[in-house]
Amino acid sequence: MPAQAPDVWVYDSVRTPRGRGKDNGSLYTTRPVRLLSGALDGLKARTGLAADAVDDLVIGCVTQVSDQGACIARTAALLSGFGQHLPGVTLNRFCGSGLEAINHAAAMVGSGLHDLVLAGGVESMSRVPMGSDGGALFDSDLVLEVGIVPQGISADLLATLRGITREDADRFAAESQRRAAAAMAAGAFSRSILPVIDQNGLVVLATDELPRPETTAEKLAKLNPSFAMMGEQFGLDALTRKVYPQVERVNHIHHAGNSSGIVDGAAVALIGHREAGERHGLKPRARIRAVATVGDEPVLMLAGPMPATERALKKAGMSIGDIDLFEVNEAFAAVPLAFMQHFGLDDSRVNVNGGAIALGHPLGATGAMLLGTALDALEDRGLSTALITLCIGGGMGVATIIERV
Amino acid sequence: MATETLPVSAPGVTVTFDPEDGVAVVTLALPGKVNKINPAFGAALAAGLDAAFGAKGLKGVILASGHKDFCVGADIDVVYASRDPKEILAVVGQLNAGYRRIETSGKPVVAALTGSALGGGYELALACHHRIALDSPKVLVGLPEVNLGLIPGAGGTQRLPYLLGLQEAVQHIAQAQPVRAPKAVKAGLIDALAPDRDALFAAARAWIAANPSPKQPWDTRTPLPGGVQPGTEAARTLAVGAAAFLFSKTAGCYPAAEAALRCVFEGTRLSFERGLEIESRAFAKLATSDQAKDMIRTLWFGKNAADKQEGLPQTADARFTKVAILGAGMMGGGLAFLATKAGLEVVVRDIREEALQAARARVEEQAGKLRHLSAQERAELVGRVTFTLDLEPLRGADLVIEAVVENLKVKHQVIREVEPLLAEGAVFASNTSAIPITRLAEAAVNKDRFIGLHFFSPVEKMPLLEVIQPGFTSEDTLARCLSFGRAIGKTCVVVNDGYGFFTTRLFAAYLLEGCQLVAEGHDPVLVEWAARSLGMVMSPLKVFDEVTLTLGMHAFTTREAVLGEKLDLAGLELVRAVVAAGRTGKAAGAGFYDYEHPRRIWPGLKDLVKAETPAETGVAHLQRRLMLAQLAELGRVLDDGVLRKAIDADVGAILGLGFAPNTGGPLSWADRQGLPQLVAEMDTMAARYGARYAPSATYRKMAAEGARFHEGP
C-alpha cells in the first residue's frame, strides 16, 4: 500500500451498444449477465490483463431481481475470461449506479487498499422491467410522509419551477437526436463500443439502435404529455404541494420523445493507480480529479446534479469554467436544461454527442457509459477536463470530474 | 321438543336454543336503549357465546339484538378518556380475541341485522360468517370511525378487504359514510336481505343448515375480490394511487384516513392475526391523539347533544301545518323541498315568475333524488308545494320563513305585508344571514313569535341551522322552531342576537382575511393552500367566488349601514377592483379564479395588488394569519355575548361554515394553542397587521385565569 494517497487513473473504458429495451430490441435475447461478461472479456482482450490481475469488480445495477438478481457482478465474472479470480459486488444507487461503481472503485484505489478495480454497470430493461424489484421507496408510507411522486411528475415539477417550457424541452430533445446521429456518423463512439456477439461469434448488435435522427421539434410537439393524466386526475400533482405549495399547477411537458429511452446495455472501465498500471504495462487515459454524491430534496428528486456538481468542483478546487465538457444525463429534458440554466452554460459544452433522449438510459449502466463518452469526446477534441453527473431517484445526485493525462 | 332458554352468566344477553335444528340465538340487549361496545358488552357477548357453544347438539348460532339497532359501535367515552396507548391496545386486544372466537368456533355464526350495525358493531358482523339484514333503508351498516379521527379498531381494516377488495375497502373506510342495507348488499358489505324479522331468522337458519363448518376467507387465504391481491406489484401501484388521491382530497389533514389506507394494504399482506396488530397499533396512536379527542368532542358529543337539543326548550308538537316561504331563490326552493319532505303544506311566494319556476324546478329535482319513494309519493311531495306571485295564498300559514333580499327596508315591508295574513299563533322567521333580528322585528306586531332561522346554502346539504333568539322571542316559539329544525333534519345551534350573529361574523372574517393577505402582497396560491392545509373545507378566495363577490360586497355594505362603522381594509378594495374588472365570481365564470380548465388563480390578480411580497410570508405564516384573524373575531363575538356555549361555536363553525373539521372547531383549536400563547400572538399581530387581530376581553380574562373552553383530554 503506497505511503501517500495515490492518484486514481482511468486506464480504459468499454461498453456494449444500447439496444431497444423492449421485446423487439436486438439485445432482448441476450441475458444481462452475458452483456456484462462480454464487456469484461472485451476489456480483458484490449488491456491484456491476466485473469488474476484485478482486485475486484464493482457493478451498478438497479433492478436486481430475476436475471439481474443474486449479485450479477460475480455471476458475470464467472462467465468471463477472468473466471473464478475476479470477485464481484453489485450496488444500487438507482440511476447513478454506473457512475457510483466507478467512484467506489476510485475510492478503493485512491485509498491505496486496491491496485486495479473493474467498475461499471449493466441493465437489461427489456428483460427486467424497471420497478419490478418492489421496495419501499414508492409506497403509501413514502407517498404520504415524504410526498414522493413518480419521476415523470418530478421532472415536470422541475420544469415548472424553472420555467422550462414544452418548446424548450422539445427543442433540446431534437438537438440530442441530431448530435447523437452526427456523433455516430463521425465514429465518436467507436473507440468504446464492443459489439455484442452470440455463441456462434456472430454480431447481435454493433451500434446503438434507439436514435431517431429524423426527429424534429415540430414532430415532438404533437406528442401528448405522459404524466398529465396521472398527475391531474389521480392526485399525484397535489402531493408535490407538501414541499412546493406555491405550485398551483404542474406544467406537464415531458413525453416519450423528450425523456430518456428505455434500453439494454453494459459498460466497464478499468480503474487503478499509477504503480499498478505500470506493473501491467497499461497506458492511462485520464485521472479522476474528484467525486461527489449528495442527498437532495426527494419530491423534486431530479435536481441533484446541481449540488453534486458544486460539491465535486469544490473538492477538486475547480470552478465551473474549468470544465471543458459536461455529460449531464438526459433522464428528462428538464434535467440538463435546468443544469445549464443553473450554471449559466450554453449547450456547446454540454452533451456534445447527444444523450439518453436519443441513445437511451440503461439505468445501472448509464453512468459508466457516460464516463467513456466524456473521455472519448475529450480525446477527439483535444480537451482536458470533463464532468459527468446524473440525477438519482429518491433525491440524490452524483458527479465525477475527470482530467486527461 | 320446544325451544329452551339457556342460563347465561352475565346480564344484557339471552340465549335460546332449539334442539330440533340445533340453532342457538344469542340476543344482545344491554341495559339502556342501545348496544354499544364497552366492558359490559364484552362480558355479555362472552357469556352468550359460552352458553351457545356449550349447548349439546349445537349446529350454529344466530347473533341478534334485542334493541332497535344491532350495535352502534364502540362506547366513545372509553376511547375519549384514554391517553394511554397500552390501555387502548388492551381494549382492542380483548375485543379482537372475542371476535376471533366467533369466527374460529367451527360452527356457523350468522349476524341478524334487524337494525343498524356501525363501527365496532359492523366489525362484529364481519367476524360472523354471514350477514343478513332487514331490507330497510333505516338499517345502516359501515365503518364511520374516520369521521372522529379514528380507524376501525376491531379488525375492520383487515376483514373488509376480503368482502370488497382492497380499493373499495379503503374507499369505504376513508369516506366513512354508512350505507343503507339495500345498497350495502349490492356493495358487498352484507350478504343478503330479508323482508321481515321472521324471514331473516328463517334465512339465517337455512344458511346454518347449508354451511355446517364455514371458514372465513382470511383464514383460508381466499383471493380478494377486485383482482388485486395483497403484496403484489398491482397492490403497490394501487396503494400509491390511493394515497395520492387521498392526499389530493385531504391535503394531509386527516391522519386517520391515511392510517386506514396503510393498515389495509400493509396488514392484509401478513397473516391475519398479525395484520390485526398493524391495525391495533395504528388505532392506539390515533385514539390517543389530540385530533381524535377534538373531533370526538365536537363531532360526536357536541353534535349529538345539539341533535338531541339538550338544555333547550322542547315541544313534541311544533304546531306547524302550513309553511310560507318568501323569496323563491335557491334558498327558498331548497327550504320548500325540505318542508314538504317533512310532510308540511308549503306556499312559496315571489314577485318574479322566473324565480318561482326555478324554485319549482329545484323542488322537483330534489324530489326526484328520493329513490326510496314511489313515483306517486314523489309527485305528492311536489304537489304539496304551491308557487305564487300573490299574497292571498299565504293566508293561514303558521310558519313564515322570509328569504328575500338582504335589505332592511324590503324586509320590513314584507313583514308588514304578510304578518296580518297569518294564522293565530303563527311564527315569523327570518333567514337573514346578518341583519339583527331585533332590527327586523321593529316591523312586527307579535315579537314573541318572531325569530331568526339562519340556513346555509345549499340548504338540502348543509346540516346546520343557526337559530337566533332575541330577548323578546318566547321559549315556546323557540321550542316550536327547534322541533321544526329537527323535523327537516338540521342540527340546531341557538345564539343571541347581534349583527351577523355568530356564523356570518366568523365567515366574513375568514373571507376578508383571505383577500387582505393577497392585498398585502402574499401569493394568492399560498394563501389558498394555507387554508386547505389547515383543513378548511373551502379556501377563502374559492369560497368567495362561489358566494359571488358582489353578494359578499353587498353584505359588507349592509354591515356598514347597519352598524354605522366603516371597514377600511386593502382586502376590500381588492375585491372591489376584481369586481370592477368584470369578474364577479364562479357563476360568471370569472372571479379570483379563471374557470377554464384547469381552474387557476386569475393571472391578472397580481396586477391589482399594489404591495410588494412581504418579507414574512409562506404557508406557516399564512396559516397563523388565517386562523388568528378568525379567532380574534370569534373573541369579539364571545365578548358580545352572542354565543351561549363554547361547543356551539365548534359545532356551528364546522357544520355551517366548513371550518376545519380536523381541529374540532375554532375554540377546540384555541385550547390546543393555549390561550396565553394565543393572546400574546394576537397582540403581536395586532401591532403588526392591524387591530382586527386584537385579543378580546374574554380571551385575556381566560388566559389570565388559566381557563380553557373545553375540559377534557
pLDDT in tens, B513-540: 999 999 999 999 999 999 999 999 999 9
Check CB contact under 8 Å for A139 and B533: no
How far apart (Å, rounded) are the C-alpha atoms in residues B410 and B686? 38
**Residue of B248, B269, B595 best to disrupt the A interface, most CBs of A under 10 A:** B248
pLDDT of A3 reads 61
Residues in chain A with CB shorter than 8 Å from the CB of B529 are 241, 245-246
Check CB contact under 8 Å for A236 and B244: yes
Q: A308 and A293 in contact (C-beta within 8 Å)?
A: yes
**Residue carrying C-alpha cell 309553511:** B323
Residues in chain A with CB shorter than 8 Å from the CB of B236 are 134, 138-139
- Nearest chain A alpha carbon to B260: A140
pLDDT of A35 reads 98
Q: From the CB of residue A104, how many other CB atoms can be counted at a distance below 10 Å? A: 22
Confidence of residue B566 (pLDDT cuts 50, 70, 90): confident
How far apart (Å, rounded) are the C-alpha atoms in residues B614 and B630? 21
Kindly report, residue by residue over B543-561, the tens digit of the pLDDT. Answer: 999 999 999 998 888 888 8
- A397 SS3 class: strand
pLDDT of A2 reads 56
How far, CA to CA in Å, does B424 sit from each of B319, B443, B449, B474, B601? 11, 18, 11, 15, 54
Q: Looking at residue B17, what DSSP letter applies?
A: E
For residue A306, the distance in angstroms to the closest alpha carbon of chain B comes to: 25
Kindly report, residue by residue over A240-283, the tens digit of the pLDDT. Answer: 999 999 999 999 999 999 999 999 999 999 999 999 999 999 99
State yes or no: is A85 an active-site residue.
no
**Residue of A63, A142, A143 best to disrupt the B interface, most CBs of B under 10 A:** A143
Check CB contact under 8 Å for A138 and B236: yes
Catalytic residue positions of B, numbered: 123, 145
Spans of chain A, pLDDT less than 50: none
Position B399: which residue type?
A: L
- The stretch B128-135 carries a mean pLDDT of 98
**Residue carrying C-alpha cell 401528448:** A224
- B541 SS3 class: helix
Confidence of residue B316 (pLDDT cuts 50, 70, 90): confident
How far apart (Å, rounded) are the C-alpha atoms in residues A12 and B517? 62
Catalytic residue among A95, A254, A255, A273: A95
Query: What count of Cα atoms within 13 Å lies in the side-chain half-sphere of residue B415?
Result: 27
Confidence of residue B256 (pLDDT cuts 50, 70, 90): very high
Can you tell me the ipTM of this complex?
Answer: 0.90
Check CB contact under 8 Å for A238 and B247: yes
Query: In the predicted model, is pLDDT for residue B563 greater than 90?
Result: no
How far apart (Å, rounded) are the C-alpha atoms in residues B287 and B527? 31
Residues in chain B with CB shorter than 8 Å from the CB of A149 are 244
Check CB contact under 8 Å for A143 and B601: no
- The stretch B106-119 carries a mean pLDDT of 98
Compute the count of residue pairs across chains A and B with CB atoms less than 8 Å apart.
Answer: 73
pLDDT of A1 reads 53
Compute the mean pLDDT over every residue in chain B, rounded to the nearest whole number. 96
Option in A138, A139, A235 nearest B247 (CB): A235
Query: Where would I find the H helices in B14-132?
Result: 39-53, 76-81, 85-103, 120-127
B13-18: strand order across its sheet: B4-6, B13-18, B23-28, B60-65, B109-113, B130-134, B192-194
pLDDT of A212 reads 97
Beta-bridge partners for B347: B324, B386
Residues in chain B with CB shorter than 8 Å from the CB of A146 are none
Residues in chain B with CB shorter than 8 Å from the CB of A299 are none
Kindly report, residue by residue over B23-70, the tens digit of the pLDDT. Answer: 999 999 999 999 999 999 999 999 999 999 999 999 999 999 999 999
Q: Are strands B192-194 and B322-326 parallel, antiparallel or unpaired?
A: unpaired
Interface of chain A against chain B, CB under 8 Å? 131-132, 134, 138-141, 143-144, 149, 232, 234-239, 241-242, 245-249
Q: A30 and A196 in contact (C-beta within 8 Å)?
A: yes
